Chains A and B, each alone.
Chain A
Amino acid sequence: MFSKIITGAVALSAVAMVAAVPAQAQEFPPKNITFLISYGPGGGFDTITRKLAPYLKKYLGGKVNIVPKNLPGGRGKKAAAFLAKRKADGSHIMMFNMPGHAMPNIIGEKAGYDVRKIDWLGRVAQFRYIIVVSAKKSKYQTIQDVLKAKSQIKIPITGPGTTGYLASAILWNALGVKPKYITGYKSSSRYSLGVIRGDGDLTILAKGSFKKYVSSKKKKRAAFKDLKPILEITNGKSEFGVPTTGEMGHKDLAILGGDRIIGTTPGTPKAIKDRLAKAVWDSVNDPEFVAWGKKVGRPVAPLNAADATQLVGKLFSYYVQYKDVLAASNKKTR
């Protein structure tokens, strides 16, 4: 009798334990989730993370908070390394800037994380570039002018090793132009201002960032007053009616741009990862979030976890071809 009771109890506990596993996953998240921001307050990453946080809360059951936390430092490396070192329980997530966050891994710099090992949850947005000149001051008003230029083109830009600089270097290399870079601008806002006031001839700019220089009045919209696009990096049709790299026969360049992909600590259990990935997918596709993105010129570009993981791999293999160029520009001087 006693042994039967024992056997029964063991069997029951076993059943309870088996049943508890999915229950545990269903209960995720048990506590608040920290949504790391690898840059300071203000700026694109900060804004989109803060906007997305309440949606993630909603799609994770609404019981726990998603807490955005700025952890700037080491040009984004600090937060990524922090995420990589957390307990793999889904309590920390972060939006990565690709390919920016992959750069230290590509050139073999000590970073404290490896983008190839991060557990990817899905893409939120992406941006693609255009080339702009000063509408009033630049000697070059079309891409043909630039290609035929006799003097050296000057490009105000952030600095070697940054995403914009890298994209610029790859683009002009492909088009056979050897420009001179005026580096040291802290952001794309600053270097586009540099182009407007005539520090240099042209620069590369994310399409979303360019839109703030365009008037909302229909009459004025056609006439670009400060910055004027002359080339769009795309294989599709140009949004601004300018030549595209695709039309110029450089279809491979369409990869140049940026992707904002959410990831969590490597080694996170599959059940938790799937739950987070579904919440990311649902949030990014929430009609309200989609409408907001459209309204403020930051359209969403959802990609699920599997596709996002594949994309990271693809970006890594593409940029690793330029490893030497990158390594040279990132060489430390002491």
Chain B
Amino acid sequence: MFDALLEGIVNLGSIHSLLLLAAGSVVGLLFGAIPGLGGTTAVALLIPLTFGMEPWQAIILMGGVMAATSTGGSVSAILLNTPGIAPNAATTFDGYPLAQQGKAGMAIGAAATASALGGVIGVVSLVAVIPIMKAIVLLFTPPEFFMLAIFGMCAIAVSSGDRLLQGLITAIIGLMVGFVGYYDVTSTVRFDFGIPLLEDGIKLVPALIGLFAISEMINLAVKGGSISQDTSDVEISGVSAGVKEVFKNWSTMLVGSGYGTFIGAVPGVGGTVAAFLSYSTQAQRDPTPEIEYGKGNIKGVIAPESANNAKDGGSLIPTLAFGIPGSAETAVFLGVLILHGIEPGQKLLEDHQDLVFTLVVALTVSAVFATLIVLALAKYMALLTRISVHMLIPTVTVVALVGAFALNTEIGDVVIAFIFAFIGYFMIRFNYPRVTFTIAIVLGSITELSFHQSMLIADDQMSIFFTRGLSLTLLALTILSLAFPTFRRKMKERKEAKLEAEQ
């Protein structure tokens, strides 16, 4: 294994390889930052370029792209309230409020640093778990998926804050939206009203583009001004402060990276869920924060960003163990390997260990490289929040709509984005949380599918959820995470009451 790792480093050692990697990182950053495009599109578009390359060169280019997309996506999540790719959705919750407070530089600094560290931790974990990777992938079966999704749903309670009723209402609407379209268990199309566009369900990216980006532009148009409400003399940079915040909150970053690696290893769950879980766990671990979550707490940026980057390493675990892609990007990446005459699966690790480690090294270097680029440009990017609405609104709206269209070159997706833009605007206007709506859309379908499958496996016996070790552990964690904030608050109140009494 050590020889293969060395070969990976040697492969990346030439100027040509480094240029390839840099090109991949830049493409990844751009495709990540422009809503709707994403890493899968970037990798697919670059495929023809790799035809004339050696397999390891193609791997370096693709590794560069894959490690950089979610870092790029965090920038648009923070500056424009639009997740560049779906796994950046959780970053908007605290990232955008920070931008509104004139702290965009700090948020970008923290997001980029958390991305790099998360990415590196994910890849290191991948290498560390290679001997036991099969066991990790096999740990999760439908009952565990269900419990994991329920655990994630707790985020609804946390993110609602003092608007629990509104939070629950939007969550229910989110669940209903998630039910639209083709359902894999029954192979039936539900709630499509005969409209072909709805047959595949409401796609997450156009919905998020509408819900967050365009709705925010409508809101800005009504309000006027600029994104940052603080346009006075505050120094816009703060990038280094953001970097320091990550090291100060190292446990948040570590937990996030752990979620990313672990969830990345489970095919079918993905970076979006990892980021949400990491976010909600952070909010639950910290029930009495200095700054409320959802209102610009920097830990709310670090948690999801470390998770969605660590996922890249994690999602290679099922790829190496069984030849099964752990994410959409790895699926395309496997396609690239096949095009180059390399059959993925068990043979990959047996016959092409050097290529595997070339990818590992490329992912690590690219994660750091992408972060350095973002950190270098953060100061200038943050200026975007000070641009007048007259310039910002048309530009962002056009980019967002093109993004919605580009995903599948489907004009219907633009319509979806518009519909969700108005839903989003009314949510802002009447103070209904958009976060809970998003969580429900993302987790609703996994919850339903895994529940249905569990029932099929266990012949409708609910006991399947309570007789398996991991499933039971996840249930216990769910109960604990719901009870913990209340318990901690009560303890604090009691302590304060005691102190007051003593005085």
> Residues of A with Cβ closer than 8 Å to B?
40-43, 46-47, 50-51, 54, 70-75, 78, 154, 158-162, 165, 180-186, 189-190, 193-194, 196-200, 211-217, 226, 292, 295-298, 329-334
Q: Is the CB of B268 within 8 A of A190?
A: yes
Q: Which residues of B contact A162 (CB under 8 A)?
A: 187
Contact A329 B325 (CB under 8 A): no
CB <8 Å contact, B40 and A42: yes
Cβ proximity bits B123-157 to A, threshold 8 Å, 1 near / 0 not = 00000000000100110011000000000000000
Which of A54, A200, A214, A296 has the most chain B CB atoms closer than 10 A to its own CB?
Answer: A296
Asked, given contacts A73-B199, A189-B267, whether A180 binds B456 with beta carbons under 8 Å apart, the answer is yes
Chain B 314-355, CB within 8 Å of chain A: the 1/0 string? 000010001111001011111100110111111100110000
Complex A-B: 9 CB contacts under 8 Å: A40-B40, A42-B328, A74-B200, A154-B456, A183-B186, A194-B141, A199-B457, A216-B346, A332-B188
The answer on a CB contact under 8 Å between B351 and A41 is no
B141 and A334 contacting across the interface, CB-CB below 8 Å: no
Q: How many residues of chain B have a CB within 8 Å of chain A?
A: 60
Contact at A189–B40, with CB atoms within 8 Å? no
- A159-B185, A193-B322 known; A334+B343 contact, CB < 8 A: no
- Contact B138–A54 (Cβ < 8 Å): no
Q: Is the CB of B332 within 8 A of A182?
A: no
Q: Are A331 and B188 in contact (CB under 8 A)?
A: yes
Q: Is B449 an interface residue (CB 8 A)?
A: yes
**A226–B322 contact, CB under 8 A?**
yes
| Alpha-carbon separation in the docked complex, A180 to B342 (Å) | 36
Chain A residues positioned under 8 Å from B335 (CB to CB): 41-43, 46-47, 50
Identity of the chain A residue whose Cβ is nearest the Cβ of B345 in the assembled complex:
A212
How many angstroms between the C-alpha atoms of A71 and B456 in the bound complex?
A: 33
5 A-B pairs with the lowest CB-CB distances in the bound complex, closest first: A212-B345, A42-B331, A159-B187, A184-B185, A41-B44
Nearest chain B CB to A293 CB, angstrom units: 10
B residues near A71, Cβ cutoff 8 Å: 408-409
Chain B residues with CB under 8 A of A46: 44, 332, 335
Q: In the complex, A296→B337 CA distance in Å?
A: 10
Residues of A within 8 A of B408 (CB): 71-73
Q: Contact at A200–B345, with CB atoms within 8 Å? A: no
Q: Is the CB of B457 within 8 A of A184?
A: no
Is B17 located at the chain interface by the 8 A CB criterion? no
Interface: B218 (CB within 8 A): no
- The answer to whether A159 touches B184 (Cβ under 8 A) is yes
Whether B41 pairs with A196 at a CB distance below 8 angstroms is no
B247 interface hit (Cβ, 8 Å) = no
Chain A residues within an 8 Å CB radius of B51: 54
Provide the residues of chain A in CB contact with B48, threshold 8 Å: 50
CB B64 to nearest CB in A, in angstroms, measures 17
Q: How far is the CB of B320 from chain A (nearest CB, A)?
A: 11
In the complex, are the beta carbons of B341 and A292 less than 8 A apart? yes
Interface string of B160-194 (1 = CB under 8 A from A): 00000000000000000000001111111111110
**In-complex Cβ contact of A193 among B44, B137, B341, B347 (8 A):** B137
How far does the alpha carbon of A99 sit from the alpha carbon of B141 in the complex, in Å?
31
Would you call B341 and A329 a contact (CB within 8 A)? Answer: no
Contact yes or no, B187 A160, CB < 8 A: yes
Q: In chain B, what residue has the closest Cβ to A180?
A: B456
| B13 on the A face (CB < 8 A) | no
Q: Do residues B457 and A215 form an inter-chain contact, with CB atoms below 8 A?
A: no
Provide the bound-state CA to CA distance between A271 and B4, in Å. Answer: 54
A295 to B184: give the CA distance in the assembly, Å.
33
Complexed CA–CA distance, A226 and B43 (Å) = 30
Interchain CB contact (< 8 A) of B453 among A182, A193, A196, A292: A182
Q: Assess the B187–A330 pair: CB atoms within 8 A.
A: yes
- Minimum C-beta distance from B149 to chain A (A): 14
Could you say which residues of chain A place their CB within 8 Å of the CB of B200? 72-74
Residue of B nearest to A51 (CB): B339
B268 contact set on A, CB distance < 8 A: 186, 190
Q: With A42-B332, A72-B408, A212-B347 in contact, do A182 and B456 touch (Cβ < 8 Å)?
A: yes
B295 interface contact, C-beta 8 A = no
Given the interface pairs A161-B187, A329-B187, the reply to whether A213 lies near B453 with Cβ below 8 Å is no
Expressed in whole angstroms, the minimum distance between the Cβ of B341 and any Cβ of chain A is 5
Partner pick for B331 among A41, A165, A199, CB 8 A cutoff: A41
Q: With both chains docked as a complex, state the minimum distance between the C-beta of B491 and any C-beta of chain A, in angstroms.
A: 41
A237-B344 Cα distance, complex, nearest whole Å: 26
Q: Let me know if A183 and B328 touch, CB within 8 A.
A: no
Residues of B within 8 Å of A70, CB to CB, are 44
Whether the pair A185, B199 counts as a contact (CB closer than 8 A) is no
Complex-state Cα separation, A297 to B43, whole angstroms: 23
CA distance A189 to B325 in the complex (A): 8
- The chain A residue with its CB closest to the CB of B325 is A42
Cβ of B456 and Cβ of A216 under 8 Å apart?
no
Give 8 A-B pairs besides A162-B187, A199-B141, A212-B322 with Cβ atoms closer than 8 angstroms: A41-B328, A41-B331, A74-B196, A75-B182, A183-B185, A183-B453, A193-B138, A334-B190
Knowing A75-B182, A189-B324, the reply to whether A215 touches B347 (Cβ < 8 A) is yes
Residues of the A chain whose Cβ atoms lie less than 8 Å from the Cβ of B453? 182-184, 199
On chain A, the residues within 8 Å of B345 by CB distance are 211-214
For the complex formed, measure the closest distance between the CB of B389 and the CB atoms of chain A, giving whole angstroms.
36
A76–B131 Cα distance when bound, in Å, is: 39
Q: Check if B267 sits within 8 Å of A190, measured CB to CB.
A: yes
Indicate if B47 sits at the interface (CB-CB under 8 A): yes
Tell me whether A211 and B343 are in contact (CB under 8 A).
yes
B256-274 at interface with A (beta carbon < 8 Å): 267-268
Residue from the list A41, A73, A196, A295 in contact with B138, Cβ < 8 A = A196
Assembly CA distance A298 to B351 (angstroms): 18
Nearest A residue to B182 via CB reads A75
Q: Which of these, B40, B141, B191, B346, contacts A215 with CB under 8 Å?
A: B346
Interface residues of B in 439-474 (CB under 8 A from A): 449, 452-453, 456-457
Cβ-defined contact, A183 with B456, below 8 A: yes
Query: CA separation between A159 and B188, bound complex, in Å?
Result: 9
State A186–B185 Cα separation when bound (angstroms): 9
Closest chain B residue to A189, Cβ basis: B324
A199: which B residues are within 8 A, CB to CB?
141-142, 453, 457
| B489 CB → nearest A CB, Å | 40
A51–B333 CA distance with the chains assembled, in angstroms:
14
A100 to chain B minimum Cβ distance, whole angstroms, is: 12
Q: B318 CB to closest chain A CB, in angstroms?
A: 8
Residue of A whose beta carbon sits closest to that of B328: A42
**Chain A residue, CB-CB nearest to B331:** A42
Q: How far does the alpha carbon of A333 sit from the alpha carbon of B181 in the complex, in Å?
A: 11
**A190 vs B342: C-alpha distance when bound (angstroms):** 21
Separation of A59 and B103 alpha carbons in the complex (Å):
58
Residues of B with C-beta under 8 A to A72: 200, 408
B189 with A332: CB separation less than 8 A: yes
Chain B contacts for A47, CB-based, 8 A: 335, 338-339
Chain A residue at minimal CB-CB distance from B336: A47
